[in-house]
Chains A and B, each alone.
Chain A
Amino acid sequence: MSTTTELLKGAAELFPDEVVTQAHVRHLDLPFGAGRFALVTLDNGLDHTKPTTFGPQSLANLNAAIDQLEQEAAAGSIVGAGITGKPFIFAVGADLKGVELLKKHDEALAIGKGGHDVFKRLSALAVPTFAYYNGAAMGGGVEVGLHCSYRTVSKAIPAFSLPEVFLGLVPGWGGCALLPNLIGADRAVSVIIENSLNQNKQLRGKQVLDLGIADALFEGADFLEQSLLWTAGVLKGTTEVVRAEIDRGEGWDAAVARGRAIADSKVHGAAPAAYRALEIIEAAKDGDLQKGFDAEDTALADLIMGGELRSGIYAFNLVQKRAKRPAGAPDKSLARPVTKVGVVGAGLMASQLALLFLRRLEVPVVLTDIDQERVDKGVGYVHAEIEKLLGKGRINQDKANRLTALVTGVLDKAEGFADADFIIEAVFEEMSVKQKVFAEVEAVAPAHAILATNTSSLSVSEMASKLQHPERVVGFHFFNPVAILPLLEIVRGEQTDDASLATAFGVARKLKKTAVLTKDAPAFVVNRILTRFMGEIQNVIDEGTPVATAEKAIEPLGLPMSPLVLLELVGPAIGLHVSETLNRSFPERFTVSPNLKRVVEAGKRGFYVYSAENGFKPELDPEVAALLVQGDSVLTEEQVRDRVLDAVAQEIGLMLEEGVVAEAQDIDLCLITGAGWPFHLGGVTPYLDREGVSERVNGKKFLAPGLASVPV
């Protein structure tokens, strides 16, 4: 086995572009005459917008710093050693770019082992060690502190987490083995599994203390001073550190079981990371840390060489980077200011849009509808939502007053829209109605105003075709629930000009939405793929496969909900309507299920019923079962899965050929942010590529090698 230095040197050669973190060692005299102390500062030399990470050279630097600490501790020239970060950042863990580059299992193993070898030297020093979590700490950043004897945390930290499982890894530099031994398995499961799978939930300083991860909490204003004073107290014995007893009996097993249940409910066994982490937590019960570290190394290497992590990193990069620079969006400088917004329609969707525009843009928002009652109801809805925000303390009274005064409703569009810059319609989904509404709006709105439509399936170009200025019409397709799903499909009609499009992207940015540019193609992106996906499931059911088999076939994907539960959420009538629309455009691929029609005609809101006796698990509604007319072709789960995935791969292939979006990455970004498809699938094209579906259907992969897979 090579030495740590050689190991890290080899790893560093594979990653020449690493942003290198320095480990500065500085000496100071502790207060109260507590002695000479060595403080390590982790700093990549950049400001806080570029957080400090650990690539191989960074680890080597820390290793060299620890060499120095080791000598000084052994020589008795220091009484303790600490580690902290640059302003606002402690350290945010392994450098993912370096992980993406790894091609071989032994390279991946070296990263895990390299981190362990360096970090565990901290706990082996001849003097007590202290981690001062001064700012954002994630992953390996949290873990380096876990190897220290004591920890303090700042009240001001913006983020503290072990996000590895969220990405598709395990906390593999000691997190899985050390954390349960520090704070107990149940709390460790909360941090490592539950928070991670709960959209990577972050801890605040107080929680880090309450969980027992940190021994002391100090305010940000003089965090390091107070941490060092506390350190002096600990070293002199005047400050006692008390930690809670941990349950190494049944509580430990129950915690692991709880973790498995959380993982099952979130990823349904489809992604391995959470389960690998739980195995290590389970084994950590006997307190044998080295065994745990070895297990972490193996798990890390396996996961780094597996598709789920590559998909996870790919998905992370999509939502962190690509979402901020939408492909195909015109230059920002072309965007016009939006100082007043008009909303046509005052129904629930329109009211939700009004609320969103109001909260994010903080400009006057005017609702119109065909009668006063509807207008009042729409404004009333927004006012009530503002009250709710006030009641929850999300906004203060002044802000509530401001927002309340900004939203108004009028019957007369001329009065409401004469000075509006951006007018969005959310009226009944029918071409003639929408064309009429736009014609009325154009007659009264300023010449520069953007006319946006929230249509989910109608042609934006056709909607604009009868206007004098069709170049200012854009599709602005939100996803329900509007306040929660980040995706906004921005549709460019045939005549839409760059200034209108740039304005639309500018508004999307202010709305904090993930905007993806799509062509004016039937049902745009998410609805087209979901409808094809659902349609194929309907097809196999209609042909004779039992509902339960069809549903179960999709489980290994780990989608947030089963297809028929999703249908229930969307509403069978809407699902049917969209399938009919797409059937008209692409009759050869999009079918209209007679069974779905029957279900809708029977006025059913879904295929399932839920009862307390059955723990509210979905059960096929006997009335629905009675309505179904099925053929006699019964497929296995695998056959169903192949049919459905083939259909999805074919549709995406065609969409890319048609130029609906710029690249496959945009499809994945849409599925992640608009349909909640999971990171471990990378949206879906990384999954289709690695399962061989893309090549089977389209003769090629969607993504270049290495983008969401192990590079060759």
Chain B
Amino acid sequence: MPRTVRDVVFVDGVRTPFGKAGPKGIYHETRADDLVVKAIRELLRRNPDLDPKKIDEVAIAATTQIGDQGLTLGRTAGILAGLPQSVPGYSIDRMCAGALTAVTAVAGGVAFGAYDVALAGGVEHMGRHPMGEGVDPNPRFVSEKLVDESALFMGMTAENLHDRYPTITKLRADEYAVRSQEKAAKAYADGKIQQDLVPVSVRNTNEAAGETGWGLVTTDEPMRPGTTLENLAGLKTPFRPHGRVTAGNAAGLNDGATAAIIASEDFARENNLPVKMRLVSYSFAGVEPEVMGYGPIPATEKALAQAGLTIDDIGLFEVNEAFAVQVLAFLEHYGIADDDARVNQYGGAIAFGHPLASSGVRLMTQLARQFEEQPHVRYGLTTMCVGFGMGATVVWENPHFTSEGDSK
């Protein structure tokens, strides 16, 4: 049977505001599945032309798939969100690249013709499910030296990446972090971020965590506008004595959820849905687990090669800031300046937070907004590093692109 690969588009994406994990965090008493539900419902409210009955799949990622992140979230969150029972769903896990993988998995299905439209997203409630909760690594990893012992501790892998790139100093990482906070604060001031946030009602019964009762979360909790180099200089380096990685130049431990609509371009047009980005290529790559943060480089190489593009064709970058060093390694590899204006224009995870499996869609949502504002840019990419030594990259085309401007 002859088949035609179909163009896949990013229709829309939303997220909950991100919170700080822990007993004083805004979401401490909020269930992870409820965060997903609120994101899905907001997505449907914003796109009334999407008939929920037509949704062919719901793919929701979470790293720790137990408790309120277990029970096949894609299915259960769909039912909780009020989707018709005829809409199926599943759970997905690629740690930090969970939501990104949810997008590429359903995108593959759309391109193949299995789906017309699907929801993809992710959640991580690191307060309710701390990293490593319930894990049981096979002892062979260590006994057979399959991976270095530091591979399981993301902060240590970041220190290892500093070793690989000796020119990336703690100062450069801190400078990068300060800029991320500055850019995020500016993006907030300019109203770039709020438009894709879904307000979440939160309950607090713990007086130590502030006012009790029901409240409403409308902004990201982790942000630290006004952060200075001096603030960061004195922070501890918990992963290595006299190391370089601190809480200030890395993303924190966070809670949050994201969701996006992925469709075939034809379906989107026929149903009057917005087309915010067009998928060009995507790729995943593996690297030594102990330098996990190197992953975006080979993943991007592969994705660009598939698309027949070079790094110079990319006009906007959304690089997940798990650690400043990992962004800097990526930039150094491609010879891009630390403060290049194309990179993370609205700031990144160092400011907003990084609830592991949810972050991929945040990158896409922010890239989509930048595409809208910058029709002279034709291509952009979203990329992130992934635990246990992986990288993930998606290359996108700007549907608003007009050749009148700069071709980038």
Contacts and interface: CB of A to CB of B under 8 A. Distances in A.
B82 A219 contact: yes
Interface stretch (B201-209, B265-273, B327-335): B201-209
12 contacts: A24-B212, A25-B211, A26-B204, A26-B211, A28-B218, A29-B219, A31-B216, A31-B218, A86-B203, A224-B216, A228-B199, A228-B216
A84 interface: yes
A82 B82 CA distance: 27
Nearest to B38: A222
Interface string A70-99: 000000000000001011000000000000
B178 interface: no
Contact of A222 (B201, B204, B212, B213): B201
A167 B37 CA distance: 40
Interface string B162-200: 000000000000000000000000000000000000111
Given A222-B38, A222-B201, A225-B201, A24 B216 contact: no
Contacts of B214: 26, 39, 41, 84, 224
B147 interface: no
Contact of B213 (A31, A41, A219, A229): A41
Contacts of A222: 37-38, 41-42, 201
A43 B213 contact: yes
Interface of A: 22, 24-31, 39-41, 43, 45, 84, 86-87, 219, 221-222, 224-225, 228-229
B56 to A, nearest CB: 22
B213 A225 contact: no
B81 interface: yes
Contacts of A219: 82
B226 interface: no
Nearest to A65: B213
A25 B205 CA distance: 12
Contacts of A86: 203
A86 B211 CA distance: 15
Given A26-B213, A41-B214, A221 B201 contact: no
A11 B162 CA distance: 69
Given A222-B41, A225-B216, A31 B199 contact: yes
B218 A24 contact: no
B200 A225 contact: yes
Given A27-B211, A41-B203, A224-B201, 14 more contacts: A25-B211, A26-B211, A26-B212, A28-B215, A29-B216, A31-B218, A40-B213, A41-B213, A43-B213, A86-B203, A221-B37, A221-B82, A224-B216, A229-B199
A40 B213 CA distance: 7
B31 to A, nearest CB: 11
B213 A39 contact: yes
B197 to A, nearest CB: 9
Contacts of B219: 29
A221 B212 contact: no
A43 B216 contact: no
Contacts of A41: 203, 212-214
A29 to B, nearest CB: 6
Nearest to B216: A28
Given A28-B215, A39-B214, A87 B200 contact: no
A27 B217 CA distance: 11
A228 B213 contact: no
A86 B203 CA distance: 9
A87 B201 CA distance: 11
Contacts of A39: 213-216
B286 to A, nearest CB: 39
B80 interface: yes
B212 A228 contact: no
A97 B399 CA distance: 67
A40 B215 CA distance: 9
A43 B205 contact: yes
A221 B42 CA distance: 11
- Place the interface of chain B in its size category: 20 to 34
A221 B81 contact: yes
Contacts of B204: 26
Given A29-B216, A221-B80, A228 B201 contact: yes
Nearest to A220: B82
Interface of B: 37-38, 41-42, 80-82, 198-201, 203-205, 211-216, 218-219
Contacts of A45: 205
A284 to B, nearest CB: 33
A157 to B, nearest CB: 16
B66 to A, nearest CB: 22
Contact of A221 (B41, B199, B216, B218): B41
A87 B218 contact: no
A641 to B, nearest CB: 55
Contacts of A43: 205, 212-213
A102 B42 CA distance: 50
A40 B211 CA distance: 11
Contacts of A30: 216
Contacts of A84: 214
A31 B201 CA distance: 12
Nearest to A28: B216
A221 B203 CA distance: 14
B326 to A, nearest CB: 34
Contacts of B81: 221
B40 to A, nearest CB: 9
Nearest to B197: A31
Nearest to A86: B203
A95 B38 CA distance: 35
A221 B82 CA distance: 8
Nearest to A85: B214
Contacts of B218: 28-29, 31
Contacts of B37: 221-222
Contacts of A229: 199
A25 B215 CA distance: 9
A29 B198 CA distance: 14
Contacts of B200: 225
A24 B199 contact: no
A620 B204 CA distance: 67
Q: Which 3 A-B pairs have the closest CB atoms?
A: A41-B213, A24-B213, A224-B201
A401 to B, nearest CB: 19
B27 to A, nearest CB: 14
A3 B200 CA distance: 39
Contacts of B201: 222, 224-225, 228
Contacts of B80: 221
A580 B201 CA distance: 68
B199 A87 contact: no
B221 to A, nearest CB: 13
Contact of B203 (A27, A40, A87): A87
A27 B204 CA distance: 12
Contacts of B205: 43, 45
A155 to B, nearest CB: 10
Contacts of B82: 219, 221
Contacts of A24: 211-213
B32 to A, nearest CB: 15
Nearest to A37: B216
Contacts of A40: 213
A221 B83 CA distance: 12
Nearest to B191: A33
A156 to B, nearest CB: 11
B69 to A, nearest CB: 18
A358 to B, nearest CB: 27
A28 B41 CA distance: 22
A556 B38 CA distance: 56
A87 B31 CA distance: 13
A274 B203 CA distance: 39
A416 to B, nearest CB: 39
A219 B38 CA distance: 12
Nearest to B211: A26
A24 B213 CA distance: 5
B30 to A, nearest CB: 11
A237 B139 CA distance: 64
A225 B219 CA distance: 14
